[in-house]
A = this chain, B = another copy of it.
């Protein structure tokens, strides 16, 4: 089972450095989790993920349930052996993708019925079923089925969604407690839209259930950044401090620093991987688009001083060439760099918290950004 230990707290902010112990290894927090939607972090091998500093990856329950499906995953005793990743895996509940990808969704107290975005086949996802699928996947950390709402949503919609999310959380917890409390952990997800009092209400309800960790869902759904920060800042302190606090689906390097400052421990986002495939590469002085013609003859690496495989071996000119002709290697080399960049940033953040100079690091980060 999951053990969370806080190693250091920043004295000037709410930032904290911790250690999350799973049966598949330690996770040093704050941590960024690369997204491996369909049993692979796009273009990367497990060895490359490890070399790029990944400690834990995320799998998507909705996608894995549809393809390859539970029978195949069960044959392999879960996703770890299937994809050859020995480290920890966190799975979302499938809820977010049902709401964002599938067709003809219908929500009832029982669960959410939907049609697959692939072949139109009909499915019913209930809290019990979501936990069942996550058991097949064998993830180290499972998430409760929640109802995500769009931005903007009315107070009534947000309230209804948080209430059903609370009742589903109780059912998820009960299913988990009866089936796999010793081998897999379960996190609850706070909802409540952009309404601070509803976020508080959701938090209070979930705190009554003894989850192994708590996540904030339903942010980074199109709202202004200040609103997102506002919701996070008001919600994070209400979550139990002795448990890991996870911000779902966020964000930019700047977001990670700001949210760590507010007390967040875990993050996942498609940004480093998806943007890599679109030619956007992160550097200390901001993101660059490798397709820019100013890189055509550039013999320097993407980010000077970066120790990733890509920067140690290839120039911006070569990466630009590969990207312009849409070579498969482009996506991979770009992804390696971005994952390494995110993980290195988290490592630096963590070290600065341990040395109690997080605020200096944060200032330095912004100063570097402004150099370019």
By a beta-carbon cutoff of 8 Å, the part of chain A in contact with chain B is: 38-40, 42-45, 67-68, 71-72, 75-76, 82-84, 296-297, 299, 313-315, 317-318, 321-322, 324-325, 327-329, 331-332
Contacts and interface: CB of A to CB of B under 8 A. Distances in A.
A39 B318 contact: yes
A19 B278 CA distance: 44
B327 A42 contact: yes
A72 B317 CA distance: 8
B314 A76 contact: no
A309 to B, nearest CB: 8
**Dominant secondary structure of chain A at its interface with chain B:** loop
Contacts of A296: 68, 72
Contacts of A297: 71-72, 75
Give this chain's copy count.
2
24 contacts: A38-B321, A39-B322, A40-B322, A40-B327, A40-B329, A42-B327, A43-B332, A44-B329, A67-B321, A67-B324, A67-B325, A68-B296, A68-B317, A68-B321, A71-B297, A72-B297, A72-B321, A76-B318, A82-B321, A83-B318, A84-B313, A84-B318, A328-B332, A332-B332
Given A72-B297, A75-B299, A317 B40 contact: no
A299 B45 CA distance: 19
A82 B76 CA distance: 41
A325 B60 CA distance: 14
A328 B71 CA distance: 24
A324 B327 CA distance: 20
Contact of A318 (B42, B71, B82, B299): B82
Contacts of A332: 43, 45, 328, 332
Nearest to A317: B72
Contacts of A325: 38, 67
Nearest to A328: B43
